Structures are given as C-alpha cells and as structure tokens.
Amino acid sequence: MSMIMWDDAYSVEIQEIDEQHKCLIEIMNELYTALANKSNRDLVGDVLDKLVDYTKVHFAVEETLMRIFHYDEYEEHKAIHDRIVKRVLEYQGQFRAGNDKVGMELLMFLKDWLFDHINKVDKRYVKTFHKHGVKKNWLKRFW
C-alpha cells in the first residue's frame, strides 16, 4: 500500500465535508507512516485512536445534517456508518489486545471503503443539502 491521495473527483461540492474527508485521509496517512516506519506501539496506538475518534466525529456531523434536513435516506446511511464504526472498533480492540497486524488491515479496509462510500453514498445527500441552502464554500476554517 502507498500513501492515500485526495482527488477532486471525490468532492461532494460542500467544502466543509470535503475538508473532513481530507482530514480523514491525512490521519490515515499518518497511520500509514507510523506503520511503515515501524514506530513504537504507543505511537501507532495513538494515531489509530485518533483515526477512530475522527471517523466518529465526521459521521456524527453528516448524520446531524441529514437529520436537520429530514434526508429521506437517513436510516440507510446511518446504518452503513454504524456498521463501519463497529468494524473499526473491532480493529481497535484487536490492536489493544496485542495484535500488531491490525493497523495495516484497518488502513486497507478504510481506504477501500472511504472512496467508494463518498462516491456511492455521500454524494446522494448533496442535492438535499444544497436545496436547503448549504453553501458549497466555507468562509474560513473553523476547526
């Protein structure tokens, strides 16, 4: 595996969400670098925790917007997120239990999942969000 690259083809045309997706990629690359450099276990564990936490935060943001706008595919989308979080927590649990190999497995899993999810699932809510006045560009970075 190599570093993960963002491509504008993955844009959902809402900058705030694009930036969160880029942030996810950044943390995934951080994990990749930590694993490739055979960094110590604590450091790998810290990055892995960060990735798990940020994934949850990002999902919560998307789900909140979907609820606010009464998005009609909310239940399906939420169920997909829940499945991913469950898998990611399983990987985290295995790592904490002493399995060092799961870091790379988690990374491959998330990499395969992320771009597919953005294109096939996330892009479906864009029309609804835009219709309700969500702007394509943000004014500035707030976080």
Site for Fe ion, rule CB under 5 A = 62, 122
- From the CB of 36, what's the least distance to Fe ion, in Å? 28
Nearer to Fe ion by Cβ, of 18 and 122: the residue is 122
Q: How far is the CB of 125 from Fe ion (least distance, A)?
A: 8
Give the C-alpha separation, 124 to 131, whole Å: 13
Q: Which residues of 43-69 are buried (b: 16+ CB within 10 A; e: fewer)?
A: ebbebbeebbebbeebbeebbebbeeb
Q: How far is the CB of 118 from Fe ion (least distance, A)?
A: 7
Nearer Cβ to Fe ion (44/55): 55
Q: Could you tell me the CA-to-CA distances from 65 to 46, 57, 78, 86 in Å, in that order?
A: 29, 13, 12, 21
Measured from each CB, the residue nearest to Fe ion is 122
CB atoms within 10 A of CB 80: 17
Decide whether 44 or 51 has the Cβ nearer to Fe ion. Answer: 51
Q: Which is nearer to Fe ion, 18 or 62 (CB)?
A: 62
Q: How far is the CB of 107 from Fe ion (least distance, A)?
A: 19
